Structure 1
Amino acid sequence: MNREEILQHFANEVYEPLKHQMLFTLEASFQNRKHALAKTFRNSLEQLLGKVKQMQREGTKQALGYISYSMLRTELANGRATYLVEAMDKTWFMDRHPCRDTYDAEWAFCYLDEWKTELSKQAKKYGGRIGLDDIERMKLHAAMHIHQYIIALARFSITEAWLDEIQLEDVFELRVGEYLDRSEVVYKRDVCVKDSTVMKEWLEEKKPYDYIHEVFRGIDGSQGDYEGIRLQYADLSESSFNNSVFTEGNLIGSCWNKACLQEADFSGCLIQEARFEQANLRGASFRDVIAVPGIYQSERWERPGFQPVSFAGADLTGAQFQGAYLKDADFTGAILRGADFMGAAFEGACFKGAVLDGSRFSLGMHPVVQSLT
């Protein structure tokens, strides 16, 4: 075999199987430790924000437009899993007075180091045709998969409360990415006044990528036709979408907390990681929705596993969940009077303190409800 063929054989027989093994191990660790990891992540953010508060009190720091967590490839190449954390004004990387700190992501990248060691061991079977430079390139390529867990952790960890007492621009983003390269929004705050009519018309255009991570808080988009819309990680909290149609939409990670969604139709939607906490969902339809937690396709790793959907504290009187997949869903304190769960799968779902008077479940599937007290 020539070198190209050897590298391809190594990729198929060694690199890919070991990579998936590593990532599934990391997935299990992340899901088991996510609350403790989130506490550490918030500590790092709190440390940075403490510096920002001091600078803003002294008048040396403008209102924040961005906080970024940046993976540093040079650090990784030197065996350190250090992220650069920066708080910047609206000019982003042009900010002349950024506030900087670091975040140690060793909890995730230690799996990459172990994988590299095993990869090097297997490479020896190829008679020196695969060198240390090849292994290092493979490591840096695989690092992007590990990096996805830093994004997932940031998204799981951040709440608005952590930004109290900080001067922010009307539009503020917390992003995770590579230094001076591509990054992903994990939290966005936008307090600009929005015209509901304009926003509704824009949403009804159902553009494929424009609404992802966008903020639609407090708008009235009722009686809208949003069939098939993609609203991944969009914020629609405290908005009104009564009698609206979202059927077959991609609503992964979207936030609908305290929204008015009476008689809204979410049939056939993807709602993994979505949050409908304290929302008014009277008469809403969630027929055949998919809210699979964890890895969606268990035989192959493609991204970090999803968090369970949450309906905690929501009013779901008369809601329809026939045929829905709601494993591990959170219905804590929800009002589910007359809700229909016939044919729904809700293994591991939490109904603590929920009101289930008159609800319908398939034979033998009625949940045990615990009191909140």
Structure 2
Amino acid sequence: MNREEVFRHFKNEIYEPLKHRMLFALEASFQNRKHALAKTFCNSLEQIFEKVKLMQQEGDKHALGYISYSMLRTELANGRATYLVEAMDKRWFMDRHTCRDTYDAEWAFCYLDEWETELSKHAKKYGGRIGLDDIQRMKLHVAVYIHQYIIALARFSITEEWLDEIQFAHEIQLEDVFELRIGEYLDQSEVVYKRDVRIKNSTMIKDWLEEKKPYDYIHEVFRKIDGSQGNYERIRLQYADLSESSFINGVFTVGNLIGSCWNKACLIEADFSDCLIQEACFEKANLRGTSFRDAVAVPGIYQSERWERPGFQPVSFAGADLTGAKFQGAYLQNADFTGAILQGADFIGAAIEGACFKGAVLDGTRFSLGMHPVARDLTSFG
């Protein structure tokens, strides 16, 4: 075989199978340890906030506009899973008042080290035609997949309530628009949390949303606006924040709402039929008469035979008013309905395995035969 054929064989027979096995192992570890990992991640944020507090007290730091976590490839190449944490004002990387810390992501990248070791063992079978430099390039390429778990952890860890408490406790000055971003050093980064307290014009926002731009609304903040009666069919609102907003009779059918936040929103008789709502949060929302027919909120790895991204967290309706809501045909495995009002809600044909109905009001709620939660082992819902 020539070199090209050797690499093709190695990739198909060794590289790809070991990569997927490694990523599934990391997925299982992440899901089992995510609460403890979130506590450690929040501790790293508190550390940088403490440094910012001292700098702001001394007049050496303006209001924060950004905190970024950057993967360092040079560190990875040297066997260290160190992320650079930087706190910056609204000038972002042009901020000359350096405020830095580090975050140790060994919990995730240790799987990459083990994969590299395994890969190197198999490479020896190819008679020296796959060298250490080749393995190193493969490692840095696969690091991008591990990096996705740092993003997933940050999203899982940071809540508005937690940030408000930390900001108050540390007396941190934040810009009206503040972002927590994770990426590579001086390269592309992704928003994992955005806070925007500017007052918005509901009419302008509604008109803009009804344009249904392909990528413009992802990660955006649309809090406390009135978009009622709007037609938002097929809209993409991944990880957007629409908390405390009003979208009465809004049409969101076939929309991509993965990771979107609708806490305390008024969504009476809105239509979320056929929407993707993995990781979405509708806690304490008014969802009376709302339709989630055929909506998809499958948690975990979407296609169990192939890793494509970190597994989704379950959708949450905790504390929501879902009186008369329609869930026929929806996929709602492990969904959280803790304390929700579900009087007259319809779950006929819905997949609700593992869903939590603890403390929920179920008077007149319709379930498929054999699927009523009261008739099942309630320990699985705690």
- Give TM-score, length-normalised by structure 2: 0.96
Provide the residue aligned with 1:34 in structure 2. Answer: 34
Distance, in Å, in 2 between the alignment partners of 1:276 and 1:208 is 23
Cα displacement (A) at 1:179: 0.3
Q: Does the alignment pair 1:270 with 2:291?
A: no
Cα displacement (A) at 1:368: 2.6
Distance, in Å, in 2 between the alignment partners of 1:260 and 1:86 is 37
Distance, in Å, in 1 between the alignment partners of 2:306 and 2:368 is 32
Cα displacement (A) at 1:54: 1.6
Provide the residue aligned with 1:317 in structure 2. Answer: 323
Distance, in Å, in 2 between the alignment partners of 1:85 and 1:368 is 48
The Cα offsets for residues 255-298 of structure 1, whole Å up to 9 and x where unpaired, read as 00000000000000000000000000000000000000000001
Distance, in Å, in 1 between the alignment partners of 2:336 and 2:199 is 32
Matched length: 373
Provide the residue aligned with 1:368 in structure 2. Answer: 374
Distance, in Å, in 1 between the alignment partners of 2:88 and 2:185 is 14
Q: Does the alignment pair 1:225 with 2:259?
A: no
Provide the residue aligned with 1:172 in structure 2. Answer: 178
288, 292, 295: which one aligns with 1:282 = 288
- Identify unmatched segments of 5+ residues in structure 1: none
The Cα offsets for residues 105-164 of structure 1, whole Å up to 9 and x where unpaired, read as 000000000000000000001000000000000000000000000000001001222342
Cα displacement (A) at 1:192: 1.3
Distance, in Å, in 1 between the alignment partners of 2:47 and 2:198 is 28
Distance, in Å, in 1 between the alignment partners of 2:316 and 2:158 is 16
Stretch of structure 1 that moved more, 120-129 or 52-61: 52-61
Distance, in Å, in 2 between the alignment partners of 1:171 and 1:150 is 23
Cα displacement (A) at 1:253: 0.1
Q: Equivalent residue of 1:164, what SS?
A: helix
Provide the residue aligned with 1:346 in structure 2. Answer: 352
- Identify unmatched segments of 5+ residues in structure 2: none
The Cα offsets for residues 36-59 of structure 1, whole Å up to 9 and x where unpaired, read as 000010011111111111211221
Stretch of structure 1 that moved more, 322-331 or 47-56: 47-56
Provide the residue aligned with 2:149 in structure 1. Answer: 149
Stretch of structure 1 that moved more, 57-66 or 20-29: 57-66
Distance, in Å, in 2 between the alignment partners of 1:64 and 1:45 is 13
The Cα offsets for residues 89-115 of structure 1, whole Å up to 9 and x where unpaired, read as 000011111311000000000000000
RMSD: 1.4
Distance, in Å, in 1 between the alignment partners of 2:15 and 2:374 is 46
Q: Does the alignment pair 1:10 with 2:13?
A: no
How do 1:47-66 and structure 2 match up within 5 A?
47-66=47-66
- Give TM-score, length-normalised by structure 1: 0.98
Distance, in Å, in 1 between the alignment partners of 2:227 and 2:143 is 41
One-letter amino acid of the counterpart of residue 148, structure 1: Q
Q: Equivalent residue of 1:368, what SS?
A: helix
300, 311, 317: which one aligns with 1:305 = 311
Distance, in Å, in 2 between the alignment partners of 1:76 and 1:351 is 44
Q: Equivalent residue of 2:122, what SS?
A: helix
Provide the residue aligned with 2:218 in structure 1. Answer: 212
Distance, in Å, in 2 between the alignment partners of 1:62 and 1:329 is 42
Misfit runs of 4+, over 6 Å: 369-373
Cα displacement (A) at 1:336: 0.4
